[in-house]
Structure 1
Amino acid sequence: MTDNNYFKFSNSVLLVPIIAVLSIWTVYWVELQFKINFNNFGVYPRTLSGLKGILFSPFIHGSLKHLYSNTLPLVVLSAALVYFYKPVAFKVLFYGTLLSGLITWLIGRPSYHIGASGVIYLLASFIFFKGVFAKHYRLIALSLLVVFVYGSMLWYILPIKEGVSWEGHLGGFITGLFFAYFLKADIPKPQKYAWEEDNYNEEADEFLRHFDENGNFVEFKPDDDPELDTTSSSPINITYHFKKKTEE
């Protein structure tokens, strides 16, 4: 499999981010429109009723600022996931969301944990570590881009800001690392040049045949093309034609 066959744009690259964003914004609109509060559908740690939040919490946000801050990263990272890791993208999104929510349920403070930030940390962690583990130049470049743009998010897996579910962030981060290491993706190997192959034969290389034993480039090889044989003893006749300039 080559890079061109693997890294191909498809409708899902746009469809997945659009569905994700419409989902979280629709839920928030329903809350405002009908004056409903869905916070009790979030993850409430170590309670049986709080388990439902593993499924529902990523769609619930406490404020417009909270919703807006999660929208752009969700779009960018989910699109990157589907484009670069399409064969495993839906496994990462679905099972990763469940596992990160379960970790939050196990380690979280006794409070409702809501928001898509756990999923965002899941995606950022997976994309970064998978690129490092794959050792593919394009995926490593993507990993570096994630670090450059979202590297500051790493601090929020620690309890440094009150009111922020660092447990959800940590759960997403751990899950992304876990999936990056254990989830196998059929990633193409970087394309090699002919001389990098194990069975490369220098003598059969048409380009190298244009060099002599001293490394000097020769335009052609007489032995390969009899029509260009320069060893012939036939004389070469050169005829010059002079035209006398006429006076005006």
Structure 2
Amino acid sequence: MAAKFAQLFADSRRALFTMLGVQAVIWSVQVVNWLGDYGLSREFGLRSGQLGDLPEMFTMPFLHFSWSHIEANSWPLFVLGFLSAYRGMRKFLLASLVIVVSGGLTVWLLEGPNTVTAGASGMVYGYLGYVVLRGVLDRNVLDAVVGIVIAAVYSTILVGVLPLAQGVSWLGHLGGLIGGLAAAVLLRNRPADQQAGTRAPQPAPQGAGAPSSPGSALLKQLDDLGL
């Protein structure tokens, strides 16, 4: 039990510093962006339908169009990002990748022609979906309680996935949410994962040195990097 609490504390500490670092980057970029009359958002935001702009799905979450825009995203991004990461950085990084790609592709494919989209709100919705559904799928008491509380607190923002407000990328919100839900399913704890913590390691069958699935291979590589 003590070992589990120690691991949880270490993971939570790493999650805290990670999200503080993310916030520092986003706000530093905002200052430079503001000084340049938001030219970074126009240049490195995601422009729908432009094939050469697809890589901008990875820069889009760090850019905003105003101080009110970044203020609205920062607090929920910090809270939901931390809750997504406190169970371990490996799954958090993979979940973040799924959310970025899902939200980015949704915007790129379905947003109006030549519309430039920027902002971290897609990540906010993605982490919301991930935290809530993870609590249901992983059958972990703490995660389930966290998921219920978060669902209650942030349920009102789900209206943001509907095309109701002008100038708001509801498609980015919807794509991020779908990505978060998908990540929770793809990265859920399986019975074999839960039993691995209670059973002694068994020798691998001869010739079975490769991981059993692409997902486990990615997690193993991240584990080897110390994440």
TM-score, normalising length: structure 2: 0.76
1:107 matched to which residue of 2?
110
- Seen in structure 2, the aligned counterparts of structure 1 residues 36 and 176 have a Cα distance that, compared at 3 Å, is closer
1:153 matched to which residue of 2?
157
Q: Aligned partners of 2:101, 2:184: CA distance in 1, in Å? A: 16
Q: Aligned partners of 1:129, 1:36: CA distance in 2, in Å? A: 36
Q: Which amino acid aligns with 2:144?
A: I
Identical columns (%): 28
2:171 matched to which residue of 1?
167
2:133 matched to which residue of 1?
129
- 1:37 equivalent in alignment to 2:50: no
Superposed displacement of residue 5, structure 1: 5.6
Contact (CA 8 Å) 2:137, 2:188: kept in 1 or not? Answer: no
Q: Aligned partners of 2:186, 2:67: CA distance in 1, in Å? A: 36
Q: Between Structure 1 and Structure 2, whose CA radius of gyration is higher? A: 1
Contact (CA 8 Å) 1:7, 1:84: kept in 2 or not? Answer: yes
**Alpha-carbon displacement from aligned partner over 1:131-177 (angstroms, at most 9, x marks no partner):** 11122221110111111221111111010111100000000010111
Superposition CA RMSD, Å: 2.1
Superposition pairs of residues 62-101 of structure 1, within 5 angstroms:
62-101=65-104
Contact (CA 8 Å) 1:108, 1:167: kept in 2 or not? Answer: yes
1:210 matched to which residue of 2?
none
Q: Which runs of 5+ in 2 are unaligned?
A: 196-227
Superposed displacement of residue 178, structure 1: 0.8
TM-score, normalising length: structure 1: 0.70
- Aligned to 1:49, the other structure's residue is in SS state helix
- 1:52 equivalent in alignment to 2:43: no
Contact (CA 8 Å) 1:85, 1:185: kept in 2 or not? Answer: no
Contact (CA 8 Å) 1:3, 1:188: kept in 2 or not? Answer: no
More helix by share: 2
- 1:118 equivalent in alignment to 2:122: yes
Aligned residue pairs total: 189
